[in-house]
Structures are given as C-alpha cells and as structure tokens.
Copies of this chain bind each other. A is one copy, B any other.
Amino acid sequence: MTTEYSAGGDPTRSLELLWGVRERPKRGPRPKLTAPRIAEAAIEVADAEGLAALSMRRVAERLGVSPMSLYTYVPGKAELLDLMLDTVQGEAPLLDELPGGWRARAERWARESLASYQRHPWVLQVATSRPPMGPNELTWSESALRALAETGLPDREMVAVVSSLDNYVKGAARAAVDAALAERRTGMSDEQHYRAREPLLARLITPDRFPTMNRLHYAGVFDAPVDDFEFGLQRLLDGIEHFIARHRDDTGGG
C-alpha cells in the first residue's frame, strides 16, 4: 500500500529517458535490458497485480535480473512510472487520424481512452505532478490540436477544449475504473460488497434524514444506473458544440 509519484529528479535525465536519446555505450558488457523493456515488464506487473504490488524487486524478478540492476537503465521508480505513463499514452488513438468531424473523433477517442484506462487502471492513480512530456503525450496533443482547427476557435479556446475533454474523461474513467479495482483488491463483487453493508446502512440511511436517497434506492435507480460516462460525455460535447456555434456567429458566420 504505497502513493506513487512521477519523476521529480534530474530533468534532462528523465526527458532523455522518455525520448530514448541516449546512444548505446561502446565499452562494457552487453546490456541485457533496455528502459522500454523494463517499462513493459512494469506495466505487466501493474496491470496484473495493481500499483501497490509494483515494486522494483517485483519487476526485476519478472525480468530474471537482480533488483539493483534496473538502476542501470532507470534513475528510480518515479522515472520508471513516467516511462510507463507515456507508453500507455501511446495506446490512445490520435484525433486527426480518426474518421469524421471533431465531435465524432472526440467521442471515439474518449471511449478508447476509457478502454485503455480499464486495461491499465493504475494509470489514474499515479500523481502526474507535472506532465512528463514524453513523445506519445506530445504527439497526441499535437494531433488533438490539429483536429480542432476545423472548429475555427482561437488558439486559447482550442487548448481549453482539449483540456476539458481530457479532464472529464480522466475523472469519469476513474470513477468507472475504481470499482473494478476494488473488486480485484478485495475479492468481493459489487453486489457482495453492498449486501454486506446493507443491514447497517438500512439503519443509518433513515427516510427522515435521507428521503430522496431512500426513494431512489427503493425505485432501483442505483441498481441499473444510466451509463454515467457516456451521459456526461454527451453533455460536455453538446456544450462545446454550442460554444463553437456561438463563436462562429459572433465572428460573422462561416
């Protein structure tokens, strides 16, 4: 049970690592590993066993190598996490390579991002501090901004649109993903979990203090909820669409 942080060490060292600019050294024994190979193994560990189980020792074990040898390729765990993050970032589709207009592209990206977060739930637990600015992250940003050019928005607003979409997706994905995480961690399904709490909760959530919650509970609203991720996504996109249309009107149609 441990809070992981992304890197805060030597700035150029981390960036070199992310972008893979170090040339292969001439002398010395042939390296068994590479930083990307270590990141790959670490991602496998985190995917399979969770962020709490991700340790340098565990990664080394998976690679058949002593724990300390990892430090030859990676300055520390924080930098390794940055590398893992940027690697996963590479799974998100580039907006301007998707078919359709800006909205169709954004929708598709949002859903595939959710899927990626579901494959790698630990990503949303890592405190990104500052964006590590790896190649995949920047490539995605470049692509997103290019895809939004068609909206005719000014630069600043374009950036804000990208941010708000990203923020929403991260927030909503986290809610969706945390439930799945809990299931694996506790070995208890959602149903088992709530059933275990039901008796006590029923005495705590009294109809006089919590009338609405009670009504909704007995109406079964919490049993078969709307797909919250999709609902909020559509509302946000509606709002952005409206903003674009208004901007177009203000600047004399187009």
Contacts and interface: CB of A to CB of B under 8 A. Distances in A.
Given A201-B15, A239-B238, A51 B3 contact: yes
Given A133-B201, A172-B167, A213-B141, A3 B5 contact: no
Contacts of A229: 167
A170 interface: yes
Q: How large is the interface on A (under 10, 10 to 19, 20 to 34, 35 or more residues)?
A: 35 or more
What DSSP secondary structure best describes chain A's contact surface? helix
Contact of A164 (B125, B182, B231): B231
Interface stretch (A22-30, A37-45, A84-92, A192-200): A192-200
Interface in A149-203: 149, 155-157, 159-161, 163-172, 174-175, 178-179, 181-182, 185-186, 188, 190, 193, 196-197, 199-201
Nearest to A236: B236
Q: Name the 6 nearest CB pairs between A and B, nearest first.
A: A171-B171, A164-B232, A2-B2, A235-B239, A129-B182, A239-B239
A163 B15 CA distance: 37
Interface stretch (A66-74, A99-107, A218-226): A218-226
A188 B9 CA distance: 11
Interface string A3-19: 11100100110011001
A197 B11 contact: yes
Contacts of A145: 212-213, 216
Nearest to A21: B204
A1 B240 CA distance: 38
Contact of A127 (B125, B205, B235): B125
Interface string A101-138: 00000000000000000000010010111100101001
A146 interface: yes
A249 B15 CA distance: 54
Contacts of A201: 15, 133
A61 interface: no
A60 interface: no
A3 B193 CA distance: 22
